[in-house]
């Protein structure tokens, strides 16, 4: 990956075209995706994209092979409590890179449940760079983030298991056939209200691998130890 | 084994880093004390004659039945070592259903001691059918599985009190709690300088997947490497066992650190809740529910603060115990000292105590704040009570006035009624004699004027009395004669209630929203006179739809015929039971 916050590029004095050329395809598509969700009346950066929605889009984007990133499960604060979800370290890294060179801005705000979350938007500089992103990359993101029936941008929202029944009249596109996975457990969904369509981003679907492990005690220096054998009769 | 039961990963992983001879240790802090260890030993039947057994958190709710079914997950536990008061070490074989038919043989070691240090450990024998060169990408999935399953397993073993503490600190989702990961491996591929993995984004990202945010890395003097992150540590060494005793101390303090971070988040959340209570008080001028809501918030926060305070004591004692253990390890071997210096263990030890003291100040502040807000609520409640008393007094005076006025009006009306009845009596007589045109009678009246006057007055009294009796009869008839009110407070079946109400001609429905509940009121007239023994009752049903409780049912019958209150109660209860709205046991209300 090119994106590396530690080896931050100096973009001062560079044109938008030069900056765009220095970005990786993943970074360009990420910038464009944030741009799409923060655009009002053709103007970028007018609203903010919530962190959880972005995480959902990234998770879905990786599964759909839009982004060449990996993800792995991690326990994070999720809507006021803890939850294990898939986090893409590469995605986070590229997002941080875009922030570090001033193309994306982060806003931190509170919730009614007394927690803070992040939201992202493109800066003025970011909007200029978006105009230099090649059409083929834009097309990939446009196809991914817009409803195939009506062409509207999907809303990306959390649906709790308790309210999932209210969404029964929304058709679920590409439901997973994986054993053990059930959209009835809620999650982060891409939703088109006009066409009544929902797509589970499977952000909180923790994939499993086959493995075998045997017990292994860490050597703890306890003051007293009491051997079980001493207590056995016979 | 097919590819399908090796992994459910949909992503094409770009694997860069691999480890060999991997041991995974997961450390966490759970509030424990000697008494909990004693209870824990009993729970695990440490002194049992036969090793091992299955455990569940299920409670026997049917003590009078011979057998029972267990549908929830079971844990197979074998105790290996223990001290009745200090610690217990056991093996746990996880039998939870695996996701996507993936084959997993999950058996790990668990160390629990009175300080609250819990360490789960396992040696990774096989991963995706490979016995070596395990990628960090795949290891991260194993860790996620172990973290989740260890939480589930421990919840089956902890006391209700401990579970409550974990629910409090981990925002009611203790099963999703994070833990400190420690991985030891004998070699890493590619074998580069430690700084390489942190410098190169791709490698750093893979480390981050395991240990969250990698802070720093070092090359160890024995040729190994160590990476330290916000939620984990990876140690590469030919002889990792040399580090284990110090890892046990590091694991405790890092586990405690994670616990304290969640503890502080919870604490700030409680502060915010008290702020919400204050806001409610400001709204009490126009919101009638505000004071009740503020009181509910304060009660909840007060209960939480009591537990938060107790947690401080647990943490303080635990820290002292592990500091003592660390001191007993001294003098540290070179490799131990190197690792301790790398993770700045001495500094962590000092800060853990400082953080607990700091937390105690915040808890004390929160207690004072709650007391202050409680005082405000009490003042407002008192003021509201005083205002209510004054309003009540005014109302009583006004009602008294109205009663007197009504009495006066009543007397006047009665007089009018009597006078009017006299007039009617005279009119009747006039009707009979036709303006005194009945000559014989006129002559007789002329001859006996006093007798006639007596007859007239008697007719007046008789008519007046008759009219008064008639009014009383009509008044009695207009009042409800039979009324029963059954306060059931019984849980109901929502589907059956909906079906029951659908079958009734509901003529009125109201809803009252109170704190934490929505009360629906349904009113209808039951025209089934056969069932009601010739009567047509008016029925009112009160239901708490939020908590699914059937609160009260009232039956009013005007001019009841052949029916007593007990019969009416029986009829309505039988109807509800037959419709399966309420359970059959509700019949006991009549006994």
Q: What is the DSSP string of A79-148?
A: TTEEEEEEE-HHHHHHHHHHHHTTSEEEEEEE-TTS-EEEEEEE-HHHHHHHTTS-HHHHHHHHHHHB-T
Percentage of the residues of chain A whose pLDDT score is greater than 90: 51
Contact state of B138 with A209 under an 8 Å Cβ cutoff: yes
Q: Which residues of A touch B147 (CB under 8 A)?
A: 75, 84
Please name the member of A93, A208, A222 whose beta carbon is closest to the beta carbon of B100. A208
pLDDT digits (tens, 9 = 90+) for A31-72: 999 999 999 988 888 899 999 999 999 999 998 999 999 898
Total Cβ atoms within 10 A of residue B296: 15
Which pLDDT does position B377 carry in this prediction? 85
Taking the alpha carbons at both ends of chain A, their separation in whole angstroms is 64
Establish if B108 touches chain A: CB-CB under 8 angstroms.
Answer: yes
Best of B24, B34, B140 to disrupt the A interface by mutation (most A CBs within 10 Å)? B140
Please name the member of B11, B251, B273 whose beta carbon is closest to the beta carbon of A70. B11
How deeply is A169 buried, as exposed, middle or buried, from its count of CB atoms within 10 A (0-12, 13-18, 19+)?
Answer: exposed
Establish if B102 touches chain A: CB-CB under 8 angstroms.
Answer: yes
Q: Which residues of B touch A219 (CB under 8 A)?
A: 241, 244-245, 248
Q: Which residues of B touch A70 (CB under 8 A)?
A: 11, 13-14, 137, 205-206, 209
DSSP symbol at A10: P
- CA B24 from chain centre, in angstroms, equals 36
Which pLDDT does position A233 carry in this prediction? 40
The pLDDT profile of chain B, 591 residues, written as one tens digit per residue, is 344 566 777 767 778 899 999 999 999 999 988 888 888 888 777 666 556 666 666 666 666 677 666 666 667 888 888 888 888 899 988 766 666 567 788 899 999 999 999 999 999 999 988 999 999 999 999 999 899 889 988 888 888 899 999 999 998 889 889 899 999 999 999 999 999 999 998 899 999 989 988 989 999 999 999 999 989 999 999 999 999 999 999 999 999 999 998 898 889 889 989 988 999 888 887 887 888 888 899 999 999 999 999 999 999 999 998 988 888 888 889 999 999 999 999 999 989 889 999 989 989 999 999 989 888 888 888 887 888 888 888 888 888 888 878 877 877 787 787 778 778 877 877 777 666 566 777 788 888 888 888 988 898 888 878 877 887 777 666 555 788 888 888 888 888 999 999 999 998 888 887 666 788 999 999 988 888 988 889 999 999 988 888 989 999 888 788 888 888 999 999 999 999 888 887 777 776
Which alpha helices (H) appear in B434-490, and where do they start and end? Answer: 439-447, 449-478
Distance CA B508, CA A223 (A): 73
Q: Which residues of A touch B170 (CB under 8 A)?
A: 81-82
pLDDT digits (tens, 9 = 90+) for A84-110: 899 999 999 999 999 999 999 999 887
**Residue in A closest to B205 by C-alpha:** A89
Please name the member of A83, A90, A181 whose beta carbon is closest to the beta carbon of B176. A83
> Which residues 42-81 on chain B approach chain A with CB closer than 8 angstroms?
46-47, 49, 79-81
Best of A64, A70, A80, A92 to disrupt the B interface by mutation (most B CBs within 10 Å)? A70
> Using alpha carbons only, what angle is made at residue A21 by residues A16 and A24, rounded to the nearest 5 degrees?
120
Whether A7 has a pLDDT exceeding 50, the answer reads no
Which pLDDT does position B516 carry in this prediction? 67
Percentage helix, strand, coil for chain A under 3-state DSSP, each rounded to 5: 35, 25, 40
Establish if B238 touches chain A: CB-CB under 8 angstroms.
Answer: no
Give which of B225, B145, B161, B232 is closest to B190, Cα–Cα.
Answer: B225
Give which of B113, B136, B111 is closest to B124, Cα–Cα.
Answer: B136
Contact state of A212 with B104 under an 8 Å Cβ cutoff: yes
* Residue A1's pLDDT band (cuts 50, 70, 90): very low
pLDDT digits (tens, 9 = 90+) for A139-171: 999 999 999 999 999 999 999 888 888 888 888
How deeply is A179 buried, as exposed, middle or buried, from its count of CB atoms within 10 A (0-12, 13-18, 19+)?
Answer: middle
- Grouping H, G, I as helix, E, B as strand and the rest as coil, residue A15 is coil
pLDDT digits (tens, 9 = 90+) for A104-139: 999 988 776 667 789 999 999 999 999 999 999 999
Identify the bridge partners of residue A108 per DSSP, sorted by sequence position. Answer: A118
- Cα-based torsion angle of the residue sequence A150, A156, A160, A162 in order, rounded to the nearest 10 degrees: -20
Decide which of B10 and A15 is more confident. Answer: A15
Q: Which residues of A touch B5 (CB under 8 A)?
A: 210
Establish if B202 touches chain A: CB-CB under 8 angstroms.
Answer: yes
Residues B97, B100, B103, B104, CA torsion sign: negative
Please name the member of A70, A82, A223 whose beta carbon is closest to the beta carbon of B170. A82
> Rounded to the nearest 5°, which phi and psi values hold at A87?
-115, 135
Identify the bridge partners of residue B520 per DSSP, sorted by sequence position. Answer: B511, B543
Contact state of A207 with B14 under an 8 Å Cβ cutoff: no
> Which residues 301-320 on chain B approach chain A with CB closer than 8 angstroms?
none
Establish if B25 touches chain A: CB-CB under 8 angstroms.
Answer: yes
Please name the member of B99, B147, B244 whose beta carbon is closest to the beta carbon of A208. B99
Which pLDDT does position A232 carry in this prediction? 42
Burial A121-148, CB ≥16 within 10 A → b, else e: bbbebbbbbbeebeeebbebbeebbebe
Which pLDDT does position B98 carry in this prediction? 62
């Amino acid at each position: 990956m090119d994106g590396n916050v530690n080896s931050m590029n100096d973009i001062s004095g560079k044109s938008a075209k030069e900056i765009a050329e220095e970005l990786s395809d993943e970074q360009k598509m990420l910038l464009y995706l944030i741009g799409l969700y923060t655009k009002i009346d053709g103007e970028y950066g007018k609203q903010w994209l919530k962190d959880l929605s972005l995480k959902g889009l990234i998770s879905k984007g990786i599964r759909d092979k839009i982004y060449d990133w990996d993800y792995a499960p991690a326990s994070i604060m999720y809507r006021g409590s803890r939850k294990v979800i898939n986090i893409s370290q590469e995605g986070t890294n590229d997002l941080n890179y875009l922030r570090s060179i001033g193309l994306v801005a982060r806003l931190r705000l509170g919730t009614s449940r007394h927690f803070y979350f992040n939201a992202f938007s493109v800066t003025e500089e970011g909007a200029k760079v978006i105009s230099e992103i090649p059409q083929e990359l834009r097309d990939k993101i446009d196809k991914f983030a817009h409803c195939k029936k009506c062409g509207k941008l999907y809303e990306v929202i959390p649906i709790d298991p308790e309210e999932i029944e209210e969404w029964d009249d929304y058709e679920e596109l590409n439901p997973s056939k994986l054993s053990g996975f059930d959209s009835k457990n809620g999650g982060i969904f891409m939703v088109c209200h006009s066409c009544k369509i929902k797509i589970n981003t499977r952000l909180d679907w923790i994939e499993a691998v086959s493995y075998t492990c045997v017990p292994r005690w860490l050597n703890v220096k306890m003051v007293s130890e009491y051997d079980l054998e001493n207590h056995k009769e016979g | 084994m097919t590819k399908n039961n090796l992994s459910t990963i949909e992503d094409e992983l770009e694997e860069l880093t691999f480890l060999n001879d991997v041991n995974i240790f997961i450390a966490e802090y759970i509030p424990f004390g000697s008494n909990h260890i004693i209870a824990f030993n009993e729970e695990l039947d440490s002194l049992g004659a036969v090793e091992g057994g299955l455990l569940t958190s299920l409670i026997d709710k049917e003590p009078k039945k011979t057998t029972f079914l267990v549908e929830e997950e079971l844990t197979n536990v074998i105790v290996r070592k223990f001290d009745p008061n200090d610690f217990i070490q056991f093996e746990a074989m996880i039998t939870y259903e695996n996701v996507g038919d993936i084959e997993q043989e999950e058996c790990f070691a668990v160390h629990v001691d009175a300080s609250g240090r819990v360490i789960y450990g396992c040696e990774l024998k096989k991963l995706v059918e490979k016995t070596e060169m395990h990628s960090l990408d795949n290891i991260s999935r194993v860790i996620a599985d172990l973290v989740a399953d260890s939480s589930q397993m421990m919840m089956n073993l902890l006391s209700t009190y401990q579970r409550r503490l974990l629910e409090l600190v981990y925002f009611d989702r203790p099963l999703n709690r994070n833990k400190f990961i420690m991985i030891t491996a004998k070699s890493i591929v590619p074998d580069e300088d430690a700084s390489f993995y942190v410098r190169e984004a791709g490698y750093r990202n893979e480390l981050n997947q395991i240990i969250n945010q990698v802070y720093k890395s070092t090359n160890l003097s024995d040729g190994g490497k160590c990476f330290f992150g916000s939620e984990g540590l990876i140690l590469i060494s030919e002889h990792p066992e040399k580090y284990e005793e110090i890892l046990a101390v590091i694991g405790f303090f890092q586990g405690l650190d994670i616990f304290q971070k969640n503890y502080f988040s919870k604490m700030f959340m409680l502060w915010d809740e008290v702020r919400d209570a204050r806001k409610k008080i400001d709204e009490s001028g126009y919101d009638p529910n505000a004071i009740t809501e503020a009181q509910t918030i304060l009660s909840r926060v007060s209960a939480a603060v009591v537990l938060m305070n107790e947690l401080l004591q647990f943490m303080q004692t635990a820290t002292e115990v592990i500091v003592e253990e660390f001191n007993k390890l001294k003098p540290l071997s070179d490799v131990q000292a190197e690792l301790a210096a790398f993770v700045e263990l001495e500094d962590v030890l000092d800060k853990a105590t400082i953080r607990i003291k700091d937390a105690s100040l915040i808890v004390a502040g929160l207690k004072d704040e709650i007391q202050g807000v409680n005082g405000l609520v009490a003042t407002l409640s008192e003021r509201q009570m005083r205002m209510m008393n004054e309003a009540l007094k005014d109302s009583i005076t006004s009602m008294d006035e109205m009663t007197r006025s009504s009495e006066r009006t009543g007397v006047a009306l009665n007089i009018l009624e009597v006078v009017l009845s006299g007039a009617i009596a005279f009119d009747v007589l006039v009707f009979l004699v036709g303006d005194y045109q009945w000559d014989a009678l006129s002559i007789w009246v002329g001859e006996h004027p006093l007798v006639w006057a007596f007859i007239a007055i008697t007719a007046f009294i008789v008519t007046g009395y008759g009219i008064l009796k008639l009014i009383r009869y009509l008044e009695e008839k207009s009042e409800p004669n039979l009324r029963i009110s059954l306060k059931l407070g019984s849980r109901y079946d929502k589907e059956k209630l909906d079906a029951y109400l659908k079958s009734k001609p509901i003529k009125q429905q109201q809803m009252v929203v109170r704190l934490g509940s929505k009360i629906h009121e349904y009113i209808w007239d039951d025209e089934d006179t056969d069932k009601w023994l010739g009567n047509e009752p008016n029925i009112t049903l009160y239901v708490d739809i939020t908590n699914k409780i059937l609160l009260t049912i009232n039956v009013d019958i005007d001019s009841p015929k052949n029916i007593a209150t007990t019969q009416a109660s029986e009829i309505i209860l039988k109807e509800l039971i037959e419709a399966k709205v309420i359970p059959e046991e509700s019949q006991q209300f009549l006994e």
